[in-house]
Structure formats: C-alpha cells, structure tokens
C-alpha cells in the first residue's frame, strides 16, 4: 500500500529544522518503511484489544511523601544558558 | 433575531498534595526558583514518573462530589506539544479514558436552579512558569524568557463542563459553586489570583430555539470571578454584533485583557492542535473497584448545596448562606459561633459584612485573620447586651485581626465598653436636664426632635461611653 | 588463563576472594587490554579512569574487611552510554547530548555501585539505541573484534565488542528490538534481554518505553545470571517494574534439558536465514534433543507482522521520548531568534539521520487521521503476537531460533537501505513485542570464522528455564573460539 507523507508538516510538528533536500530524502525513506509497516493493516483485528504494555499491571502508586530535590547549581550547570537562578531561552512567540 | 448564549467552562485546579503528581518534589508555593525540582519533573533523560496515590484519591473525591461516574479502568496518555516550560515536551494527561465522567453540578442563579453537566474530570500535571523579559513582560515584545520549573509536575485536575451555561452570570455562579465544592473537599486552595484555580470558557451564540451549536470561541486569561463575567459579557456582545451584521464568528482562541476590558485573538499555528495522544507507556492503568469508590464516597464532607439547604432552613439569608456554605473557613467560624450561642443571622451578617470588608482592605484570608468562631460570638454578645456600640465593635474586630487579643480584652484595653447601666446613667441624665431647662420644656411639649440633642449632651458628658439606647429609654421615661 | 582480563566473573570473584589478585590489578589488566584494542575497536565513548580506580580501591578494602556485597565486587563493568551515570558524561552517542553530565544515577547503576562493581566506562551505541550496527553513532562506529572490517551489531555494539575483546569483564546494554542479543550474537558472546520489568528502566534513556529493557552482555551464561542478579528486582521508581520476587536462575544451570520441550519456531527458522547460521542452529537443536529434550515444531503466525508493528510502535514512542531534547535545560543548543527556532534548529542539527527518520515516522504514525490505521493497528497486532506466544508456550517450554539471520556484516553494507538494516532484528523483535525474556548464546562460527548466536525465548519470568537451556547449549557448543582482538598478543 503506497503511503504519502506531508513530510514538511511532520517535521514542523516534531520541531526538526531540515533542508528541502533532507526533507525529500526522509520522505522517500519514510514512505518505504511505512509501506512495509502498513502490512499490519492486512491482519484482521476486529475485537482485538490494543496492547500498550507487555506487563498486565494496574494501580502502581507512590505515597504522597516529599523526597529530596536536586541541587539547583547542579541542575543549572547543565543548562545551555541561564540567568541567575533561571533557565534562559530566546523569546517565546505564542502562548 | 434573538440569540441564545451557550457557554462551557474548563477549569484547572492544582491539588494541595504534599508532593507532585509523578515525583516526590514538594508542591509548596513561593519556593526559590528551580529548587523544587528533580530528574522526573525536570524531564531529565532516563527519569520515569510514578503516580501520586493521594492525587488519584483527590481526583476521585472531586468526581464523586460532582456526581460523576468513576471509571473502573482509566489510563494516562501523553499529550504531545512543544513548549519551553513543559520539560518533556509532552504533558502526562488523560485522554479517551479519564477517571471521572458524566457528572453534574446544580447552580442557583437568583433562585433559579440549573443542572450543569460535567463532561469529565481528569488528572494531569502542571507546567513550569515562564517570565518574559524586556518590554514590561509582554510576551509579544520580550527579548527572552526565564524558566522556573517549581510548578512543573504539580497535580492538576481538569474539570470540563458541558455547554450547558446560558449566560455570563450563570457561568460565574457555576465557577463560584465549583470553587465552593473544591474548597469544601479540601483538595485545593483554589486561589484564583495565584492560579491554583484557573478557567477557560468556550462561548458561542445560536438563534433562540435552535438546537445546533454556533461557532465557538475559546476565551482565556480570566483570573477572577468578576473578570470571567466581564470577559464573557464582552465576548457575547462581540459575537452578537458580528452575527447581527451578518458576519461569521471565527473559531479561535481569544485572550481577555483585564485593563482594556476586551478580548483579542491569539495567533495559532495550523498544526497546533495535533496533540498526537497515545497511552503513556511509563505508567500503568488505574482501576477503581466498588470498595475503593465506596470508601472515598463515604468520606465526602458536606458539600455547599447540602450546607446551604441546612442554613436556609435555619433562616439564614441567601447571601450569607452562600458564603458560609462555600468557604470552609467561614463555615467553620459560623458553626463555632452559633454553637457558642450567637444568633445565626447576626454572625452571618458579621461575616458577609465587616469581616469580609476588613480582610479585603488588608488583603488577608480568613485563615490568616485570627478571627474565630468564639471571638465572633463574644463580639456579637457584647453588641447584643449593649456593652459595645456598632462602631466600637468594628474597632474591636480590627483589634482582633491585628492580633491584640480577644474582644473582651481589646474593648477594655481600648476603653470602648459603653455604659448601659440605668443606675449609673440616671445621675448624668439628671445633670444634663438641670443644665438645659429650655430643652426640658420642649421635651414636655412633645417636641421629639429635642431628644436627639439631649442624648448628644449625655454622650458628651460620658465621653461617648453611654449606651444611646439606654439613654433614650431614660429620657423617654422622663418626658412621659 | 594468562591474562586476568579474560577471566569469567566467577573466576575473577574466586581469585579476588582467595587473594590471588586485587581489584586494582584486575582493573589494570582490563585497562591494558583496552589500551591495545580501543585504537581499532572504539568500543568506548568514555573511560572513567578516576572513578574506576576509586571503585577498585574501595572494592579491595571491602574484600579485606570481608564485607561482601555480592558477585560483582571488584569486577570491571562497562555500561552502554544510554545508562545515566552521575557526573560521568552520558551522550547516547548523540551530538545533542554532547558533554552532558547527569546529576543522578539510574537504578541499575546505583545497584552496581552498591554491589561493589567497578564501572570502567561508557560504551558506544547507535544513537539513542536506534540501529543494528553501531554505525549510527555521532562519535564514529565501533568495529567487530572478530573482524574490524565488520560491524559488531547494535545498538549495544560497544558493550558487545568490549566484552568480546576483554576490555570489560561484563557489560550492560539495552534491548528494544534485539539491541543486546544481536550484537552478542555477532560478537560471539552471551546477551540477555530479561522479562520486561525485571530490571528497572529508571535511568535508562528511553527509546521505546514499552519495549526497552536493560540486560547483560557476558562471556558465559553463569556470568549473565550474576550480572542480572545484581541489577534486577523491583524498583518503586519504575511503575512498570515487576513487583514479585526475583526468579532463581542459578539453581537450574546444571540441571540439563532432559524432559524439556524445545519449540522450533517455523517463522523464525529457515527462510531468510543465512544457511551457515541455520546449520549451526539446527546442530544445536539436535544436540538438545540428544541431551534428552523433546523438539517440537511450533508456529507464531502473526510474528510475520512483528517487524512491521515494531516499526510503528518504536518510532511512535521514540518521537515523544526524544521531544525533551530541545536545547532548553541540558545538552546542545543552536541559535534561534525565538525559542521555537532554537528548538527546531537544535533538534535538526543535533540528531543524526536514523534518529531523525524515526522521529518523523513516529510523529506521522501518531498524527491525526493516521493513528488508528498505524499505531492503533500495531498495538492490536501486538496483542495477537502475545496470544501466539501464549499458545506456543502451551506446547513448548522454550522457543528457539537464530538470533540474527546473518553473521556480522561489513561496515557500510546496510547504511543506505534502512529496511535491510531493520531486517537484522527480525528474529529478536518478537520477544520485545511480547515482553518475554530471550537470550543469545554463541554456538559456532560460519565459513568466515564469524560467530553464530542461538536464541532461546521463554515466557514472562521464564528466566530459570531459559538459563537452564542456555547453560546446556553452552556446554554442548563448547564455544571456545575467541575474537581475534582478544587473542592477539597484548602488552
């Protein structure tokens, strides 16, 4: 089953800035892989529940207890940019 | 053509658990930036979430209080979108299998009760906080932004109403009642100004009588009940003007500007709403059996509607009943004061009147104020038996809030106790009468107005401490 | 054994306790080996000389004090560079995490430290564990110690190469679609993917959360058991961690296979498998039969769709898991006028081609309008695969197949054709889909002298029977061949 991808839109959704040439290469490769992957559609699965987990567990909770936090200096040491006690990023355009 | 207003409200409530939704970082407000963080809530590579069991119970509590069904099986999902204050660039939320569904909340607007549907209540996590720097903090003109992740991962409940609200006023009443429920449950401090309770509204108009919905607009950024109502009124007017002019309403998100009193459209990207939800593989489903649900249901406190009915049957006026039934601190003080023998309506009048006014002036919450049920009962009794004038009582209340002690000692300390003992006042009245023969003559002629003058003379002679009611009684006795 | 670096964990542990050598000496032997092999292999991204030296000294004092935390005390261990280590660079072989020093240890790492293991270094991998050859590393490929012109497999290629070459006594990797077993097979060592949930994923940088599992790469089956015992067991920090008691994998190692039913999976044997590989596998099956096992043919019909389903589920999960690498809080940042631009440029330049491809695939598979046909359907197929396995385990105690359809292939042979690379994992992916355990044991060499791996799969928590069969296979195969780099004269 041939698959067509609007690769530029997908790249925007995934926040990947790519050149047109890169986009075209990825589009072709992704379509080949997706065509193979689309074989799953051939399998009848009516009434089959999806598995999102190999492990059938439920109700895993933790107690509402406060645990130790990280040291702020250690956290901010990894930041590409900071301003005092904050992480600094370029301006945010939209809410 | 006449239009019908259709409003639905999405409310977010931060829970007052001790720790965050998926990690052990504390939830306390106002900690220094980036100190309540760990690998999980910072989205560090390799970290994994674990659900806070109490948050689930709180969510169930809210759902049950809103008459929802609790889903026997519910799952967490990842809601994917990029935003710098959201550490993982996905929010763990619930999507097609939320914890609570299909409830309702009854809302009373001027005696008219409407049943507002609750579509769902689900659990998710809050984001961090961004501060926009440069040009007065306005996002459009900021040069850069600063991020604090202390709030990232705080348990957040989303409560979605059906589009059952028919006016801005009703929408306001709904949120006020919902807030009352949340406060009564004790699961959130629901502070609008601090953002621990926030709401967005979907507004549309349709021709009266129509059953189809019009194009809806989402209105954001209202941070008080008043601004909610104003924003909705403005939006309804805006849409009505468009429709009356035969222009279409554009589906969009609009931002309420409190100062300007208007809404403005927000730019949105074409793919902004493709959240690519899928079940969160790092978490397992939540399953609630009957026993668990019954246990939580059995522990529900009295809700505002029940409390209001009880107060109303005790003869309280609706405004007072609303206050003491929705605000648990006011409710507790009210219960304590009446248990101590104070008259219910008197206490209620204090709470809705002078106490509320004083706290607003001083920007205090009832919990912070030092006002207690016993204190109010004492104050009411002192007024009742004439030892305090109405104005002196207000001064005593201010003293209570200032932490000066109990009403009795404050009144004594500030020398505010008034004299209402007839045997003590009688000689003073005699002196005043002796000094004002003209007035006495007029009094005997039946000139009612002169009595005010004489009372004033007595008050002057007692340094203002005479009980005017007692003085009046004595003077009337003299004139008869 | 002339060189301490070639000892098994059991042998080294005995020697340490008998006072024949110290942990510091053992570490030095591994250092010497690495000094020779690394120039050609590039198994390591980081060697933590100081940290390892401190741990070895501490291990020696624990040994002197007879304070014995277990079988890995003083043992030099390598970690795949997607396991988070506090203060030690952790890159996932990606430019986007260049220089990143995590502020915490993952659970497996903490348990290794508590167990007295000497963490020697961080090994190379396909970027974010996506690949089957370790060629997708931003820091250059790792080579196969049996033939440096060939790949070591992947994505845990650095871990496999190090253990095969003796530059680590044991190593840990992660297996999402075969990333431990396939490189173990291609490097002639043992590799285990435990039951999903048996080893905590806390501190494993996620690729596909519902498939990822940490496991050991070792030179013997018994070493693998020891390596698993130290890191395994319930962890409250991982909600998907198995809460029950840790299975006893040790007591059956000598029990043989008499009376066990060995299921040969029709769909994973024969067609598409290199004849030399299949011959070695068939010979192993015959040996098990001679040892008293019953061989039964079994079928997993929906396994034919496992690869397809995998290439929807894994990229979908990865597209979300890798969203956090955005240049805001850690790692690479590229310039952008706005935060959106900064994120897109950082991600566009920070991720290599395979990772970019999978993020695009996964984003597409989850996007509106395609979810049900792709991701949703893949999840339903996953259910069918699990059912097939359950049916097969009614007939057999373990299932067997080749680990990889081929032996090690030359560098560059499959890099231009993603699909051909993906087919390397056709035999290993099914166990990740079902969450069941599987092991690869070396059983022979092909005509080029390259090792062949034999895969044994078992039902969830079936590690005891899986290890029991693996131990028998190991005895039968008597696989003593060593990688060229491990046997070339060292220092």
What pLDDT, in 10s, does the model give residues B341-364? 878 788 888 788 777 887 888 787
Longest dimension (CA), chain C: 70
Flag whether residue C412 sits within 8 Å of chain B, measured between CB atoms: no
Q: Which helix (H) or strand (E) holds B221?
A: strand B217-222
Percentage of chain B lying above the pLDDT 90 cut: 47
Q: What is the pLDDT of residue B141?
A: 62
Same domain, B261 and B181: yes
Q: What band does B270 get if pLDDT is binned at 50, 70 and 90?
A: very low
The span from the CA of C324 to the CA of B89, in Å, is: 5
Average pLDDT over residues B427-432: 79
Say if CB A7 and CB A30 are below 8 A apart.
yes
The span from the CA of B59 to the CA of B159, in Å, is: 10
Instruction: Write out the two tokens for C230.
Output: 């130290």
Same domain, B353 and B271: no
**What is the CATH number for B435?**
1.10.10.410
Q: Inter-chain contact B284–C330, Cβ cutoff 8 Å?
A: no
Minimum-distance CB partner of C209 among B39, B276, B281: B281
Chains A–B, number of C-beta pairs less than 8 Å apart: 134
Flag whether residue B134 sits within 8 Å of chain C, measured between CB atoms: no
Long-range pairs for B316-325: beta carbons < 8 A, 24 or more residues apart: B316/B344, B316/B345, B316/B348, B317/B345, B317/B348, B318/B111, B319/B352, B320/B345, B320/B348, B320/B349, B320/B351, B320/B352, B321/B348, B322/B176, B322/B180, B323/B348, B323/B351, B323/B352, B323/B356, B324/B348, B324/B351, B325/B180, B325/B184
State residue C109 phi and psi, 5-degree precision.
-65, -45
For chain A, the straight-line distance linking the first and the last C-alpha, in angstroms and rounded, comes to 39
Minimum-distance CB partner of B84 among A70, A85, A92: A92
State residue C393 phi and psi, 5-degree precision.
-75, -5
Flag whether residue C329 sits within 8 Å of chain A, measured between CB atoms: yes
Q: Inter-chain contact C240–B42, Cβ cutoff 8 Å?
A: no
State residue A30 phi and psi, 5-degree precision.
-65, -35
Q: Which residues of C touch B270 (CB under 8 A)?
A: none
Can you give the residue ranges of every domain in chain A? 7-42
Q: Inter-chain contact B276–C236, Cβ cutoff 8 Å?
A: no
For the stretch C224-268, pLDDT in tens is 999 999 999 999 999 999 999 999 999 999 999 999 999 999 999
Alpha helices (H) in B265-388, listed in sequence order: 290-298, 304-313, 318-326, 328-339, 344-350, 356-362, 366-369, 373-384
- Is pLDDT of C489 > 60? no
- Is pLDDT of B469 > 60? yes
Among the options C137, C179, C200, C440, which is catalytic? C179
Average pLDDT over residues B249-255: 88
C-alpha distances out from residue B15 to B27, B188, B200, C14, Å: 9, 5, 18, 55
For the stretch A6-52, pLDDT in tens is 999 999 999 999 999 999 999 999 999 899 888 888 889 989 999 98
Q: Which helix (H) or strand (E) holds C261?
A: strand C261-265
The residue to which tokens 């993917």 are assigned: C193
Q: Inter-chain contact A91–C343, Cβ cutoff 8 Å?
A: no
Q: What is the pLDDT of residue B140?
A: 59
Cα B39 to chain centroid, rounded: 35
C-alpha closest to that of C273 among C407, C431, C379: C407
Average pLDDT over residues C39-46: 96
C80 is catalytic: yes
HSE-up of residue C244 (Cα within 13 Å, Cβ side)? 9
Of B94-103, B348-357, B392-401, C372-381, the poorest mean pLDDT is in B392-401
Q: What is the pLDDT of residue C490?
A: 44
Say if CB C466 and CB C398 are below 8 A apart.
yes
Q: What is the DSSP letter of C148?
A: T
Q: Inter-chain contact A58–B286, Cβ cutoff 8 Å?
A: yes
Higher-scoring residue by pLDDT: C1, C397: C397
Q: Is B42 inside any structural domain?
A: yes
Cα C228 to chain centroid, rounded: 12
Q: What is the pLDDT of residue C487?
A: 67
- Is pLDDT of B206 > 50? yes
Cα B193 to chain centroid, rounded: 10
Q: Decide which of B237, B260, B292 is a domain's last residue.
A: B292
Burial of C251 (0-12, 13-18, 19+ CB in 10 A): exposed
The residue to which tokens 């999976």 are assigned: C265
Say if CB C226 and CB C10 are below 8 A apart.
yes
Same domain, B407 and B426: no
Q: Is B435 inside any structural domain?
A: yes
- Is pLDDT of B7 > 90? yes
For the stretch C414-462, pLDDT in tens is 888 877 888 889 999 999 999 999 999 999 999 999 999 999 999 999 9
**Polymer length of chain B:** 480
Higher-scoring residue by pLDDT: B103, C369: B103
The span from the CA of C457 to the CA of B478, in Å, is: 111
Q: Is B297 inside any structural domain?
A: no
Query: Distance, in angstroms, between A31 CA and closest chain C CA?
Result: 9
Q: Inter-chain contact B281–A52, Cβ cutoff 8 Å?
A: yes
For the stretch C299-350, pLDDT in tens is 999 999 999 999 999 999 999 999 999 999 999 999 999 999 999 999 999 9
Q: What is the pLDDT of residue B174?
A: 96
C155 is catalytic: yes
- Is pLDDT of B405 > 90? no
Same domain, B236 and B181: yes
Percentage of chain A lying above the pLDDT 90 cut: 69
The span from the CA of A94 to the CA of C340, in Å, is: 9
Q: What is the pLDDT of residue B271?
A: 47
Percentage of chain B lying above the pLDDT 70 cut: 96
- Is pLDDT of C480 > 90? no
Question: Residues with Cβ < 8 Å from C2, sequence gap 6 or more?
Answer: none
Instruction: Write out the two tokens for C6.
Output: 């070639």
Collapsed DSSP state (helix, strand, coil) of residue A31: helix
Say if CB C414 and CB C354 are below 8 A apart.
no
HEC string of B225-247 equals HHHHHHHHHHHHHHHHHHHHCCC
Say if CB C296 and CB C263 are below 8 A apart.
yes
Same domain, B251 and B223: yes
Say if CB C171 and CB C155 are below 8 A apart.
no
Query: Distance, in angstroms, between C389 CA and closest chain A CA?
Result: 12
**A75 to chain C: closest CA residue:** C103
Q: C199 has which bridge partners?
A: C232
Angle between helix B390-401 and B373-384 (nearest 10): 160
Flag whether residue C387 sits within 8 Å of chain B, measured between CB atoms: no
The span from the CA of C142 to the CA of C152, in Å, is: 7
Q: What is the DSSP letter of B279?
A: E
Q: What band does C488 get if pLDDT is binned at 50, 70 and 90?
A: low
The residue to which tokens 């929705």 are assigned: B326
Domain range enclosing B348: 302-413
Asked if the peptide bond before residue C155 counts as cis, ω within 30 degrees of 0, the response is: yes
Q: What is the pLDDT of residue B452?
A: 82
C-alpha closest to that of B82 among C314, C344, C208: C344
Collapsed DSSP state (helix, strand, coil) of residue A87: strand
Q: What is the pLDDT of residue C479?
A: 82
Flag whether residue B90 sits within 8 Å of chain C, measured between CB atoms: yes
Average pLDDT over residues C213-221: 97
For the stretch B20-78, pLDDT in tens is 999 999 998 889 999 999 999 999 999 999 999 999 999 999 999 999 999 999 999 99
Neighbours of chain B (3+ CB pairs under 8 A): A, C
Say if CB C203 and CB C241 are below 8 A apart.
no
Flag whether residue C337 sits within 8 Å of chain A, measured between CB atoms: yes
Q: What is the pLDDT of residue B209?
A: 87
Q: B103 has which bridge partners?
A: B118
DSSP one-letter string for B392-408: HHHHHHHHHHTT---HH
Q: Which residues of A touch B43 (CB under 8 A)?
A: none
Question: Residues with Cβ < 8 Å from B251, sequence gap 6 or more?
Answer: B215, B216, B217
Q: What is the DSSP letter of C373?
A: I
- CA angle centred on B325, ends B321 and B329, rounded to 5°: 120
Q: C217 has which bridge partners?
A: C171, C191
Q: Inter-chain contact C202–B46, Cβ cutoff 8 Å?
A: yes
Can you give the residue ranges of every domain in chain C? 4-235+245-253+476-487
- Is pLDDT of A95 > 50? no
One CATH from 1.20.1560.10, 3.40.50.300, 1.10.3210.10, 3.90.1300.10 for C4-235+245-253+476-487:
3.90.1300.10
Q: What is the pLDDT of residue B426?
A: 78
Query: Distance, in angstroms, between B131 CA and closest chain C CA?
Result: 13
Alpha helices (H) in C367-447, listed in sequence order: 377-395, 418-422, 429-434
Flag whether residue C339 sits within 8 Å of chain B, measured between CB atoms: yes
Question: Residues with Cβ < 8 Å from C399, sequence gap 6 or more?
Answer: C262, C263, C264, C265, C298, C300, C389, C392, C393, C456, C457, C458
Longest dimension (CA), chain B: 97
Higher-scoring residue by pLDDT: B272, B210: B210
**A70 to chain C: closest CA residue:** C103
C179 is catalytic: yes
The span from the CA of C45 to the CA of C122, in Å, is: 6
Chains B–C, number of C-beta pairs less than 8 Å apart: 101
State residue B468 phi and psi, 5-degree precision.
-55, -35
Among the options C110, C133, C137, C155, which is catalytic? C155
Of B61-65, B140-144, B369-373, the poorest mean pLDDT is in B140-144
> Is residue B347 left, alpha or beta, with left meaning phi > 0 and alpha meaning psi from -120 to 50?
alpha
- CA angle centred on C240, ends C235 and C243, rounded to 5°: 50
Instruction: Write out the two tokens for C309.
Output: 């389903």
Neighbours of chain C (3+ CB pairs under 8 A): A, B
Question: Residues with Cβ < 8 Å from B437, sequence gap 6 or more?
Answer: none
Q: Inter-chain contact A90–C341, Cβ cutoff 8 Å?
A: yes
Q: Which helix (H) or strand (E) holds B424?
A: helix B422-435
């Amino acid at each position: 089953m041939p698959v067509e991808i609007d690769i530029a839109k997908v790249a925007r959704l995934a926040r990947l800035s790519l050149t047109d040439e890169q986009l075209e290469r990825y589009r072709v490769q992704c379509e080949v892989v997706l065509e193979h992957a689309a074989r799953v559609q051939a399998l009848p699965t009516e009434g089959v529940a999806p598995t999102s987990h190999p492990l059938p567990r439920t109700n895993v909770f933790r107690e509402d207890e406060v645990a130790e936090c990280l040291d702020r200096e250690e956290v901010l040491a990894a930041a590409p940019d900071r301003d005092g006690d904050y992480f600094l990023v370029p301006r945010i355009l939209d809410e | 053509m006449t239009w019908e207003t259709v409003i639905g409200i999405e409310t977010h409530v931060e829970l007052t658990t001790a720790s965050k939704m998926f990690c052990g970082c504390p939830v306390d407000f106002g900690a220094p930036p980036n100190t309540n963080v760990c690998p999980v809530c910072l989205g560090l590579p390799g970290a994994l979430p674990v659900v806070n069991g109490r948050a689930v119970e709180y969510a169930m509590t809210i759902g049950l209080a809103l008459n929802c069904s609790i889903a026997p099986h519910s799952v967490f999902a990842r809601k994917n979108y990029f935003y710098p204050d959201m550490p993982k660039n996905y929010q763990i939320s619930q999507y097609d299998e939320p914890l609570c569904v299909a409830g309702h909340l009854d809302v009373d607007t001027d005696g008219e009760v409407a049943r507002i549907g609750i579509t769902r209540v689900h659990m998710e996590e809050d984001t961090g906080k961004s501060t926009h720097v440069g040009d007065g903090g306005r996002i459009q003109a900021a040069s850069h932004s600063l991020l604090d992740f202390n709030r990232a991962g705080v348990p957040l409940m989303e409560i979605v109403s059906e589009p059952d609200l028919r006016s801005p006023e009703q929408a306001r009443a709904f949120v006020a009642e919902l807030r009352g429920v949340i406060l009564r449950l004790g699961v959130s401090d629901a502070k609008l100004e601090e953002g621990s309770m926030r709401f967005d509204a979907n507004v549309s108009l349709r021709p009266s009588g129509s059953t189809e919905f019009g194009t809806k607009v989402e209105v954001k950024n209202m941070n008080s009940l008043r601004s909610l109502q104003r924003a909705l009124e403005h939006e309804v007017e805006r849409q009505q003007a468009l429709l009356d002019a035969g222009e279409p309403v554009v589906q969009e998100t609009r931002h309420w500007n409190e100062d300007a009193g208007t809404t403005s459209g927000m730019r949105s990207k074409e793919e902004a709403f493709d959240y690519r939800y899928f079940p969160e593989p790092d978490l397992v489903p939540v399953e609630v059996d009957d026993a668990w649900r019954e246990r939580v249901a059995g522990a529900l406190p009295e809700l505002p509607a029940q409390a209001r009915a009880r107060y109303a049957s005790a003869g309280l006026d609706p405004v007072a009943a609303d206050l003491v039934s929705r605000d648990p601190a006011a409710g507790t003080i009210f219960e304590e004061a009446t248990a101590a023998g104070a008259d219910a309506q008197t206490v209620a009048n204090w709470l809705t009147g002078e106490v509320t006014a004083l706290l607003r002036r001083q920007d205090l919450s009832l919990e912070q104020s030092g006002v207690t049920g016993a204190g109010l009962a004492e104050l009411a009794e002192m007024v009742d038996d004439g030892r305090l004038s109405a104005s002196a009582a207000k001064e005593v209340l201010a003293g209570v809030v200032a932490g000066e002690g109990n009403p009795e000692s404050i009144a004594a300390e500030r020398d505010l106790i008034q004299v209402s003992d007839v045997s003590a006042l009688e000689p003073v009245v005699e002196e005043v009468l002796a000094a004002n023969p003209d007035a006495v003559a007029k009094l005997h002629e039946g000139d009612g107005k002169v009595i005010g003058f004489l009372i004033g003379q007595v008050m002057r002679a007692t340094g203002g401490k005479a009980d005017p009611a007692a003085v009046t009684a004595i003077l009337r006795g003299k004139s008869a | 054994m002339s060189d301490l670096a070639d000892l098994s964990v059991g042998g080294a542990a005995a020697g340490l306790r008998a006072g024949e050598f110290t942990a510091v000496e053992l570490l030095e032997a591994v250092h010497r080996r690495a000094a020779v092999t690394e120039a050609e292999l590039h198994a390591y991204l980081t060697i933590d000389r100081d940290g390892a030296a401190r741990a070895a000294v501490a291990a020696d004092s624990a040994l002197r004090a007879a304070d014995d935390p277990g079988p890995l005390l003083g043992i030099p261990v390598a970690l795949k560079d997607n396991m988070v280590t506090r203060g030690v660079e952790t890159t996932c072989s990606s430019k986007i995490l260049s220089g990143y020093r995590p502020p915490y240890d993952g659970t497996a790492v903490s348990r290794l430290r508590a167990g007295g293991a000497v963490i020697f270094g961080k090994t190379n991998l396909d970027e974010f564990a996506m690949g089957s050859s370790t060629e997708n590393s931003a820091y250059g490929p790792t080579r196969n110690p049996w033939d440096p012109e060939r790949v070591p497999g992947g994505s845990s290629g650095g871990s496999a190469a190090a253990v095969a070459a003796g530059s680590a006594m044991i190593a840990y990797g992660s297996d999402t679609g075969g990333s431990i077993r396939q490189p173990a097979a291609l490097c002639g060592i043992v590799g285990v993917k435990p039951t999903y949930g048996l080893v905590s994923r806390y501190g494993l940088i996620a690729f596909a959360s519902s498939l990822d599992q940490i496991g050991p790469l070792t030179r013997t089956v018994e070493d693998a058991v020891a390596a698993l015992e130290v890191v395994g067991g319930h962890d409250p920090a991982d909600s998907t961690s198995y809460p029950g008691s840790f299975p006893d994998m040790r007591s059956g190692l000598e029990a043989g296979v008499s009376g066990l039913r060995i299921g040969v999976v029709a769909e994973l044997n024969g067609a598409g498998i290199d004849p030399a590989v299949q011959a070695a596998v068939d010979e192993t099956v015959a040996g098990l039969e001679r040892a008293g096992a019953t061989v039964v043919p079994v079928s997993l019909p929906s396994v034919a769709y496992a690869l397809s389903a995998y290439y929807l589920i894994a990229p979908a999960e990865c597209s979300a898991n890798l969203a956090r690498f955005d240049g805001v809080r850690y790692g690479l940042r590229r310039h952008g006028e706005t935060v959106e631009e900064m994120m897109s440029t950082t991600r566009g330049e920070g991720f290599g081609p395979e990772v970019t491809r999978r993020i695009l695939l996964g984003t597409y598979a989850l996007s509106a309008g395609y979810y049900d046909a792709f991701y949703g359907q893949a999840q339903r197929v996953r259910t069918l695969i699990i059912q097939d396995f359950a049916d097969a385990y009614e007939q057999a105690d373990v299932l067997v197949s080749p680990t990889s359809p081929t032996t090690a292939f030359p560098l560059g042979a499959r890099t231009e054709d993603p699909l051909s690379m993906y087919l390397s994992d056709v035999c290993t992916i099914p166990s990740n889909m079902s969450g069941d355990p599987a092991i690869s044991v070396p059983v022979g060499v092909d005509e080029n002298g390259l090792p062949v791996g034999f895969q044994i799969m078992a039902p969830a928590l079936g590690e005891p029977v899986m290890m029991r069969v693996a131990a028998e296979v190991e005895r039968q195969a008597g696989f003593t061949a060593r990688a060229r780099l491990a046997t070339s004269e060292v220092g």
